[in-house]
């Protein structure tokens, strides 16, 4: 199987000078390079809810000016989606787009600004200016019927950005009802408004199972006074935990108690599931706030809510954007509520992903969406350090969903579950997102802990590599910092595995420096799951990897897809690609230093 070194998503990060039509560097000027040393200022700042709202307000005031600066065209408007601020004052503003008043789906624009406010670079999916006929003659004949299932939405006209970064006029229909296992259905179906053919579909309800083992005696954030307490956490955005009592819709009833002592540690007391759900939500809130400076799922200090006792014997849990809530079933025989610590982390992280990268829940981006929830929930579980539920790299090991005591997923060797992928292959975009997530889960384990045999918190692991070469881990704290920075500052709705590699290398370079141990290990951990090639540390005199590009390099040409590490020649000089992209006319290596660095051979 060949290495994954090209990107199907035409996501391009370019120097701000090129995007804004400003003067570019000359061919003989030294191109800008990623930092040689790490910059602690690149870590996310601890932003309060009030500060976040101010950042959003400032970005909104600049959005029309920004659209004009970027020369997006008169039909395109930007709408601020989220803002990430780093400790050094630099910001990363993520924008949704509209074209002629229609929402643009599958693509966003990320504007990266220096502490001074100057634009340093722009990340976007489009390979050229947006231009599409919004009123074709076939429009009326291709409009789908409104689905009859409850919760469905009538078709709306949108602009869909395809995998090659080209806009397509389309219809978006949302099909409601319920799925076979009782999970709510919010199936988004995109059809071509000219031909009527289906382009893509994805599920809007993000499911993910976890452990049903309780976390022992824990402290909860509740409110009220003697004789009348409610499970409402005023210190964490007024997060509420509610009892659905077997229903499959509605908010449920907030748990109440007379003495502020909740549950009995078994499923016989309905409050017990609420205790675990509330505890998991609280610990996840604290992890994101303490480690990543994020105040809640959206960063605005507003808490979601958790619903427990959903349906009858429902063996799953899910996040739903439309209600801004997590929902948990009671498991087999209604005796194993899926309310353990990393389940809450998994579901709340789906919300974080939705409000940042917006990874579409289909294909490779869907696998990355699921993996993000596993990765950051695992990091949270280790961080929480609960003696009754120690951190591990196993997902769902105590639910016993298969009836034989085995976990649901294995991050160190994902294929142990019989379905998940250890490494990237050409089928990665066509398997269930819970199985393609194995590629990124495996990458994160290798980046954190390294390959080979290990015992961590009493659990034995033996993680292989695709190329049979070892990987030495950098620690899960650094690995999680890289992943979070890549998720919030670099990834896009259609990011695939090749672009995830670019995004994490960009994050590692900012945090720890290009060619640092952390940057090199990030590249090599991806190579170890068949995404991209290995890189050698500066003092490594071993022969180059067989999959490295030849020394002479091929001639640069517009329209080619390049991956990080590719070498080209242009006007007699050699350049190494810094980020995966598809070249455009005028994006010559000397003119786009964010994409190419000059090298001497």
The answer to whether the beta carbons of residues 1 and 109 sit under 8 Å apart is: no
Under 8 Å between Cβ of 192 and 163: no
In the residue annotation, 292 being an active-site residue is answered as no
Say which of 92, 188, 346, 434 is annotated catalytic. Answer: 434
Strand partners, 308: 243
Q: How far apart, in whole angstroms, are the C-alpha atoms of residue 23 and residue 253? A: 61
Cα(192)–Cα(136) distance, integer angstroms: 11
Q: Are 327 and 307 in contact (CB under 8 A)?
A: yes
Structure tokens belonging to residue 512: 């720890």
CA 397-344-247 angle, 5° bins: 100
Catalytic annotation present for 581: no
Candidate list 240, 347, 381, 518, residue with the active-site label: 347
Helix (H) or strand (E) holding 342: helix 341-354
Q: Which two tokens stand for residue 148?
A: 């009859």
Other CB atoms within a 10 A radius of the CB of residue 540 amount to 11
The dihedral built from the CA positions of residue 317, 204, 530 and 110, taken in this order, carries a sign that is negative
Tokens of 563: 């991956």
Only one residue has tokens 């999970």, namely 183
Instruction: Please tell me the distance from the alpha carbon of residue 374 to that of residue 504, in angstroms, as a whole number.
Output: 17
Residue 310, number of CB atoms within 10 A of its CB:
27
Contacts 24+ apart (CB under 8 A), 591-596: 591/18, 591/24, 591/25, 592/14, 592/15, 592/18, 592/24, 593/15, 593/25, 593/31, 593/32, 593/33, 594/13, 594/14, 594/15, 594/32, 594/121, 595/12, 595/13, 595/14, 595/15, 595/562, 596/31, 596/568
- What is the per-residue burial (b if ≥16 Cβ within 10 Å, else e) of 468-491? eeebebbebebbbbbbbbbbbbbb
Rg (CA), the chain: 24
Instruction: Report the C-alpha gap between 207 and 320 in whole angstroms.
Output: 9
Closest CA to 273 of 217, 229, 329, 320: 329
Are 135 and 36 a contacting pair, CB within 8 Å?
no
CA dihedral 68, 70, 76, 77 (to 10 degrees): -70
Q: Which residues are designated catalytic?
A: 347, 434
């Amino acid at each position: 199987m060949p290495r994954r070194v090209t990107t199907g998503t035409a996501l391009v990060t370019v120097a701000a000078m090129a995007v804004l039509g400003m003067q570019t560097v000359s061919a003989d000027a030294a191109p800008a390079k990623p930092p040689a040393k790490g910059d602690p200022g690149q870590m996310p700042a601890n932003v309060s809810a009030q500060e976040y709202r101010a950042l959003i307000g400032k970005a909104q005031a600049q959005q029309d000016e920004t659209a004009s600066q970027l020369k997006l065209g008169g039909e395109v408007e930007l709408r601020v989606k989220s803002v990430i601020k780093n400790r050094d004052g630099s910001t990363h503003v993520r924008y949704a787009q509209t074209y002629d008043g229609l929402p643009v789906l599958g693509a966003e624009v990320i504007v990266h600004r220096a502490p001074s406010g100057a634009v340093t670079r722009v990340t976007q999916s489009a390979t050229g200016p947006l231009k599409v006929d919004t009123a074709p003659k076939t429009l009326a004949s291709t409009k789908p019927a409104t689905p009859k299932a409850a919760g469905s939405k009538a078709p709306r006209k949108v602009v869909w950005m395809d995998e090659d970064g080209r806009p397509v006029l389309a219809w978006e229909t949302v099909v409601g009802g319920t799925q076979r296992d009782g999970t709510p259905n919010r199936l988004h179906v995109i059809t071509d408004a000219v031909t009527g053919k289906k382009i893509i579909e994805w599920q809007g309800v993000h499911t993910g199972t976890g452990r049903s083992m309780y976390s022992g005696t824990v402290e909860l954030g509740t409110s009220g006074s003697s004789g009348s307490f409610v499970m409402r956490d005023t210190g964490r955005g007024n997060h509420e935990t509610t009892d659905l009592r077997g229903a499959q819709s509605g908010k449920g009833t907030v748990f109440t108690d007379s003495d502020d002592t909740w549950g009995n540690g078994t499923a016989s007391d309905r409050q017990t599931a609420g205790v675990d759900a509330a505890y998991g939500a609280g610990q996840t809130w604290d992890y994101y706030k303490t480690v990543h400076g994020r105040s809640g799922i959206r960063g605005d200090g507003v808490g979601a809510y958790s619903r427990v006792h959903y349906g009858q014997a429902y063996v799953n849990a899910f996040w739903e954007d439309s209600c801004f809530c997590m929902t948990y079933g009671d498991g087999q025989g209604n005796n194993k509520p899926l309310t353990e610590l990393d389940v809450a982390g998994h579901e709340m992280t789906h919300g974080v992903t939705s409000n940042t990268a917006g990874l579409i829940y289909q294909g490779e981006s869907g696998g990355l969406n699921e993996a993000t929830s596993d990765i950051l929930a695992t990091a949270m579980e280790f961080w929480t350090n609960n003696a009754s539920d120690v951190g591990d790299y196993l997902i769902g090991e105590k639910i016993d969903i298969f009836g034989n005591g085995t976990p649901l997923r294995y991050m160190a060797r994902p294929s142990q579950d019989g379905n998940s992928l250890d490494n990237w292959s050409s089928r990665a975009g066509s398997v269930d997102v819970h199985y393609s997530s194995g590629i990124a889960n495996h990458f994160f384990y290798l980046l954190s802990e390294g390959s080979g045999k290990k015992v961590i918190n009493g659990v034995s692991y033996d993680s292989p590599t695709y190329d049979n070469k070892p990987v030495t881990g950098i620690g899960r704290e650094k690995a999680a910092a890289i992943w979070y920075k890549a998720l919030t500052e670099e990834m896009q709705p259609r990011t695939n595995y090749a672009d995830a590699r670019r995004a994490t290398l960009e994050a590692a370079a900012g945090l720890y420096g290009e060619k640092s141990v952390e940057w090199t290990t990030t590249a090599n951990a991806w190579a170890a799951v068949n995404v991209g090639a290995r890189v050698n540390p500066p003092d490594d005199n071993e022969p180059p990897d067989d999959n490295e590009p030849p020394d002479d390099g091929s001639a640069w040409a517009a329209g080619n897809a390049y991956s990080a590490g590719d070498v080209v020649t242009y006007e007699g000089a050699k350049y190494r690609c810094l980020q995966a992209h598809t070249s455009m006319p005028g994006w010559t290596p000397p003119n786009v230093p964010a994409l190419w660095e000059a090298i001497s051979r």
